[in-house]
Structure 1
Amino acid sequence: MSDVTYPAELEIAPLTKPVNAAVTVPGSKSITNRALALAALAVNQKPTLRGVLRSEDTEVMIECLRRLGFQVSVDWSKNTVTVTSDSARLIPANAADLFVANSGTTVRFLTAMVSLGEGRYRFDGVPRMRERPLEDLLESLRQLGVNAHSEGGNGCPPVVIETTGWRGSEVTVRGTTSSQYLSGLMMAAAFASRPVTIRVEGGLVSEPYVVMTEQMVDEWVGNMSRPSAGVFQTTPGPHRSVKEYAIEPDASAASYFWAAAAVAGGRVTVTGLNRKSLQGDVRFVDVLAQMGCRIEESDNGITVHGGHLRGVDVDMNDISDTVMTLGAVACFAEGATTIRNVGHIRHKETDRIAALATELRKLGAEVEERDDGLTIVPRALKGCAVDTYNDHRMAMSLALVGLRVPGVVIRNPGCVAKTYPGFWQDLERLRA
């Protein structure tokens, strides 16, 4: 784990002048954990990943891969990881007890991945992970002939996968709770020994993350097609040769610094990201543009210039990891901001709709909470201690309010280690 240490509480000092900064954020968590899973499945290629994010979530994934029998070589001084295996088996270990902490990508990607193997695999995590749903994925694996069940019978971890490999070629998966179920199945299907057709049942949340998975599977394997909407097909065959893979900076992490320009005024450039990014969250800058910011793109990155902010009404289903970032910005806008179609974020590290509403009210905003979103009406803000619910995105988002409002104290600031251990140091660089 990263050697960064954190206080129990952290007060955010307001900025005394508009920002003028260029920021480099660490590698994408979403891409890193997908790349680690793909590198393990393509292990005979001995691929090297560059720009790997070092965080709790990614170190949990790496430790799980080791327990599954993969050799994972890490050089954090260069942010590189190489995955190898001495086994002819797709999953080297035939039994493993895996601790996934509160990493949704780890449990969902690896649950699908180990089902390709032969053996018994058990997944468990922290108390909050034992409340996070997995039943839709377990049901899909059962369709493929896998014995996949929740020990508590509630569809949440601990879960057990007992498998001799996939015995079916057709599977449906529900996509209304998490797109990660589909992404896990897509990556596993790409390495299956038989043709596989995956059909999405009902709606699909966070579709840009599915597009990310599809593009990465194409880069690594090249055997996936989408013959019609909501249908994915793979065929066995020779895979592409991937010796090195570069991971983009994290667009969700970038959202906090773009939002800092909106909140404090001035300009912030996040380097290494552009519109061609695999990550849908780069589109957060479009929401800031609707609110009155000016967006500038160059070969160096994307720059947000702060402006007079106005409230917006926005469907954030596709960029739901930035809901809380927008919630902080909305506190400084003229008029109400309404966020819609994000009911699925109630199943994240915390119930993010309820938590955001509670903490913004503490700070003085007027908030109307709905099943699928909330409306934020700016009011006179006041400093106070805010709770983070052990949710990294709550901590990073609420800190933005403290850039303008004195007395904002973040409780449990160390929860940022889940995806961005160096966040507080990078936020402090905005004062330079």
Structure 2
Amino acid sequence: MSEPSTQQNSWTAPVAAAPVDAGIRVPGSKSITNRAFVLAALSAGPTLVREPLESRDARLMLDALTALGARCEHVPDGVRVHPVTRGSSTVSDTVDVSMGNAGTVARFTPALAALGARAVRFDGDEAIRRRPVGPLLRALAELGAEIDDDGRGAPPFVVHGRGGLPGGTVDLDSSASSQFLSALLLVAPATEHGVTVRLVGGAPPSEPHIAMTLDMLRRFGARPERSGTSFHVPPAPLACPDYTVEPDLSTAAPFVLAPLLTGGTVRVAGWPGETTQPGDWLRSLVGELGGSAVLGDDGLTVTGSGEVRGADLDLHEVGELTPAVAAVLCFADRPSVISGVAHLRGHETDRLAALATELGALGGNVTETEDGLRIVPAPLRSGTFHTYDDHRLVMTGALLGLRVPGIEVENPATVAKTFPGFVRAWEQLVGRPGD
């Protein structure tokens, strides 16, 4: 687990003095936005990506694609991405790509660098050096990429572009992150022979994100095939002149769960009727924890009583929801267990250790298990909730503050990774005096 942020700013999470009654529109999906940007950069012509997420992760992706030879224009309707240029280059200088702490940038863009003709050095925040990437780098090397990482399997590393990527068949351990698999599938249409990936080492977390990648490949004209744990994507020209990004359902989690803690109703505009986003699981979760969620033409309406039912939840496929769910379960009517999320130890921080530490510091009875958390409801008290530069932990602190006065959420600005306007939207939801 990384250390708490050294930044001194904090935010006092507002207490809900009454049942919430509000509407919210969350920004575009980070996962869809950055996949769309990558596929647009690999397409034969420009793509207008409408309603993309505007956040640090999205900016890092656009900056990386620009460094790799794409041209990205902000236009009134979104971002127009012109494809990367390929072929030989007379420029010998190494290009630098900053990955920040963005997993999608760290996993999706190195393969694109292999398609170019320059050396590209990848590095980022200190936290990104602790996030796993070794299995992906090894797989890319087997597919024909030239990578210099001094044997670390972690940033910083250099990809030496040779004007293309042969492709082929590779065994991949994607058990630490489904993004390893998605990275290979996204670049596969641009390789010479296509790519076949055979998964080894256990099932990847978050099956919905794999389905998302396959669906978006089809939308851009690729022909991905799947047979159990084997995937094949043949070479294909990509094109999608106009693509609209769905709202981020995982970012909606604290708003969806707020009525469970406060009573009242929250309406989330634009919730899609059909989606591959793992956050759609929130609809069934609300019912399991004692509320109701109704999907209509205008979005999702969530109603709660202010009482939470405890539950045993396997969140393997929706691990990114764990921080918000853990916060709610601290107020349940009985002990709960979250399982299937050992991979969260390799996210922005070790999320399991961070949640156990920070909830425990506020009086919670939360312990780590082999693959999750055990949460026994206990009275919580005021105090500082450290966020470890992790956007999801800012949202966790906000949920705790609905019931517990005096929750000081450290470094709230880190939530800009996925929702730059989160603090203001949350205060409007709660109805903080003066808003």
- TM-score interval w.r.t. the shorter chain? over 0.9
Residue in 1 that maps onto 2:250: 252
The residue aligned with 2:4 is: none
Residue of structure 1 in register with 2:59 after alignment:
59
The structural deviation recorded for 1:200 is: 1.3
Q: Which amino acid aligns with 2:82?
A: T
Give the Å deviation of 1:386: 1.0
Give the deviation of 1:431 after TM superposition: 3.2
Q: Deviations over 1:237-269 (max 9, x none)?
A: 444x41110000001111110011111111111
Mapped to 2, the partners of 1:87 and 1:107 lie a distance apart of: 20
Q: CA-to-partner distance for each residue in 1:402-423, whole Å, 9 max, x for gaps?
A: 0111111101111111111100
Partner Cα separation in structure 1 for residue 368 and residue 49 of structure 2: 41
Stretches of 4+ moved more than 6 A in 1?
90-94
SS at match of 2:251: helix
Question: What stretches of structure 2 of length at least 5 have no aligned partner?
Answer: 1-6
Does the 8 Å contact 2:144/2:166 carry over to 1? yes
Give the counterpart letter for 2:158 in structure 1. V
Look up the match of 1:273.
271
Q: Secondary structure at the match of 1:115?
A: helix
Shift of 1:89: 4.0
Aligned-pair identity (%): 38
Aligned match of 1:18: 19
Taking the aligned partners of 1:179 and 1:163, their CA distance within structure 2 comes to: 25
Report the Cα distance in structure 2 between the residues aligned to 1:420 and 1:258, rounded to whole angstroms: 15
The alpha-carbon deviation at position 13 of structure 1 amounts to 2.2
**SS in structure 2 at match of 1:204:** coil
Counterpart of 1:280, as a letter, is: P
- Other-structure match for 2:296: 298
- The residue number in structure 1 matching 2:144 is 145
Shift in CA distance, 87/195, structure 1 to aligned 2, threshold 3 Å:
closer
Instruction: In structure 1, give the amino acid aligned to 2:221.
Output: V
Please list, as runs of the form range in 1=range in 2, the aligned pairs for 1:100-119 lying within 5 A after superposition.
100-119=99-118
Quote the residue 2:325 is aligned against.
326
CA deviation map 1:327-373 (0-9, x unaligned): 11001110011000101110111000000011111222101211310
Q: Distance in 2 between matches of 1:324 and 1:412?
A: 16
Residue aligning to 1:213: 213
Deviations 1:179-230 (A, max 9, x none): 001101000002222232111113211111011000000100232111x101
Distance 1:37 1:59 in 2: 13
> SS at the partner of 2:193?
coil
2:422 matched to 1:423? Answer: yes
> Residues 394 and 245 (structure 1 numbering): CA distance in 2 closer, same or farther, change over 3 Å?
same
Q: Give the direction of change, closer, same or farther, for the CA distance of 1:163–1:63 in structure 2 (3 Å limit).
A: closer
Match of 2:38 in 1: 37
Contact 1:136-1:181 at 8 Å conserved across structures: yes
Partner residue in 2 for 1:352? 351
8 Å CA contact 2:319, 2:341 repeated in 1: yes
| Amino acid corresponding to residue 423 of structure 1 in structure 2 | F
Contact 1:7 1:414 survives alignment (8 Å) = no
Partner of 2:49: 49
> Are the equivalent residues in 2 in contact too, given 1:269–1:302 (CA < 8 A)?
yes
Matched, 1:286 2:287: no
Say which SS state the counterpart of residue 424 (structure 2) adopts: helix
Aligned residue type for 1:150: D
Inter-partner Cα distance in structure 2 for 1:188 and 1:299: 35
Q: Which among 154, 157, 179 is matched to residue 156 of structure 1?
A: 154
Quick one: distance in 1 between partners of 2:187 and 2:413?
A: 33
Q: Which runs of 5+ in 1 are unaligned?
A: 1-5
Q: Alignment length, in residue pairs?
A: 421
Q: Mapping of 1:107-256 within 5 angstroms?
A: 107-151=106-150, 153-164=151-162, 165-202=164-201, 203-226=203-226, 228-239=227-238, 241-256=239-254
- Relative to the length of structure 1, the TM-score reads 0.93
Name the amino acid aligned to 2:310: G
1:71 CA drift (Å):
1.2
Number of the residue aligned with 2:262: 264
Whether contact under 8 Å (1:68, 1:92) holds in the other structure is no
User: RMSD of aligned C-alpha atoms?
Assistant: 1.9
* 1:3 counterpart residue number: none
Map Cα deviations across residues 117-149 of structure 1 (whole Å, 9 max, x no partner): 333211000111111111000110111122224
Q: Which residue does 1:412 correspond to in 2? A: 411
1:45-82, Cα deviation, whole Å (9 max, x unpaired)? 2110000111000001111111112111013xx46001
CA contact (8 A) 1:68 1:93 kept: no
Structure 1 stretch displaced more, 280-289 or 99-108:
280-289
Amino acid in structure 2 at the alignment position of 1:10: W
Distance 2:331 2:117 in 1: 55
Equivalent position of 1:8 in the other structure:
9
Secondary structure of 1:245 counterpart: strand
State whether residues 13 and 398 of structure 2, in contact with CA within 8 Å, keep that contact through their aligned partners in structure 1. yes
Alignment correspondent of 2:68: 68
Closer, same or farther: CA 85–145 of 1 in aligned 2, 3 Å: closer
Q: Would the alpha carbon gap of residues 35 and 92 (structure 1) be closer, same or farther in structure 2, given more than 3 Å must change?
A: farther
Residue 373, structure 1, aligned to residue 372, structure 2:
yes
Return the alpha-carbon distance in structure 2 between the equivalents of residues 7 and 48 of structure 1: 40
Letter matched to residue 78 of structure 2: T
Q: By how many angstroms is 1:275 displaced?
A: 4.3
Q: Counterpart of 1:276 in 2: which secondary structure?
A: coil
Taking structure 2 as the reference length, what is the TM-score of the superposition?
0.93
